[in-house]
């Protein structure tokens, strides 16, 4: 049975090769520099940045403090070996958004009434509804858009004509609350989009999944921030 140090070094070397593949950096550069460059291009590396850098220090302790071919002074704990092997596996075979979030997406037409949308919200507990017009994506209907429409139409007797979904969409104050993404995108990259949107002040309501990331392709999945929280 291989020692923990041997398992650790195998996984470490595989990760090092993955980092070089991501960054195109030469092999002689330090592991830490590869991590720094790769985290700008790969959300998984960014997520595990601190762990990876600690692994770099541990690797040096194992390699440089050997007292013989078969003996290492630093033997990593099981939990460390399991973590580095997990990161290696995730880098080698990243979980895609399609694998976790592909499902039937309920879409509506812009000419349909708000009543149709509210029925879906009640039955399916949806918070965002993609709407289309003649096969062309128009945008997302959100609870904010519905409330804005109600506020704009308020009268004392509140006897309102039921609007179309296009009417509601016109009352969405923030129109670009979505982003189309490829089905092959990693889950960590998807998480990164939501985090960046919050820090930039343009919060995303949903990521819309199509095979190639085109907005007029068939929707095969949808991701909300709540969906990602449920994965933790």
Number of domains in the chain: 2
Does 86 lie in the same domain as 108? Answer: no
Residues 11-20 as b or e (16 or more Cβ within 10 Å = b): bbebbbebbb
Which of 37, 64, 93 marks a domain boundary?
A: 93
**Structural domain that includes position 109:** 99-229
Which of 93, 108, 129 is the last residue before a domain boundary? 93
Q: Are residues 14 and 122 in the same domain?
A: no
H runs (alpha helix) in 29-173: 31-38, 43-47, 49-64, 78-92, 97-101, 114-124, 143-153, 165-169
Q: Is residue 128 located within the same domain as residue 211?
A: yes
- Please compute, for residue 223, the number of CA atoms within 13 A of its CA located in the half-sphere on the CB side: 31
CATH number at residue 106: 3.10.580.10
Same domain, 56 and 127: no
Q: What stretches in the chain show pLDDT beneath 70?
A: 65-74, 153-160, 232
Residues 87-128 pLDDT 10s: 999 999 989 999 999 999 999 999 999 999 999 888 988 888
218 shares a domain with 120: yes
Note the pLDDT of residue 13: 96
pLDDT at 63: 81
- Are the C-beta atoms of 27 and 17 separated by less than 8 Å? no
pLDDT at 175: 80
Q: How far apart are CA 9 and CA 15, in angstroms?
A: 10
Supply the pLDDT for residue 70. 58
Q: What is the pLDDT of residue 2?
A: 82
């Amino acid at each position: 049975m291989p020692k923990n140090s041997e398992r650790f070094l195998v996984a470490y070397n595989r990760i090092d090769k993955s980092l070089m593949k991501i960054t195109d950096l030469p092999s002689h550069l330090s592991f830490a520099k590869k991590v720094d460059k790769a985290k700008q291009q790969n959300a998984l590396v960014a997520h595990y940045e601190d762990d990876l850098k600690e692994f770099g220090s541990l690797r040096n302790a194992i390699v440089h403090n050997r007292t013989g071919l078969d003996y290492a002074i630093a033997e990593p704990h099981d939990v460390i070996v399991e973590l580095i092997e997990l990161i290696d596996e995730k880098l080698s075979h990243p979980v895609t958004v399609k694998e976790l979030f592909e499902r039937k997406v309920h879409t509506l037409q812009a000419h349909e009434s708000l009543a149709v949308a509210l029925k879906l919200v009640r039955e399916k507990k949806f918070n965002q509804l993609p709407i289309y017009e003649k096969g062309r994506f128009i945008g997302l209907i959100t609870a904010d858009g519905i409330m804005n429409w109600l506020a704009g139409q308020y009268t004392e007797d509140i006897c309102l004509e039921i609007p179309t979904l296009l009417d509601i969409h016109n009352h969405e104050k923030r129109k670009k609350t979505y982003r189309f993404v490829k089905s092959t995108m990693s889950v960590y990259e998807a998480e990164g989009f939501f985090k960046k949107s919050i820090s930039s002040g343009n919060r995303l309501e949903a990521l819309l999944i199509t095979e190639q990331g085109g907005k007029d392709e068939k929707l095969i999945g949808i991701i909300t921030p709540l969906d990602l929280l449920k994965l933790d």
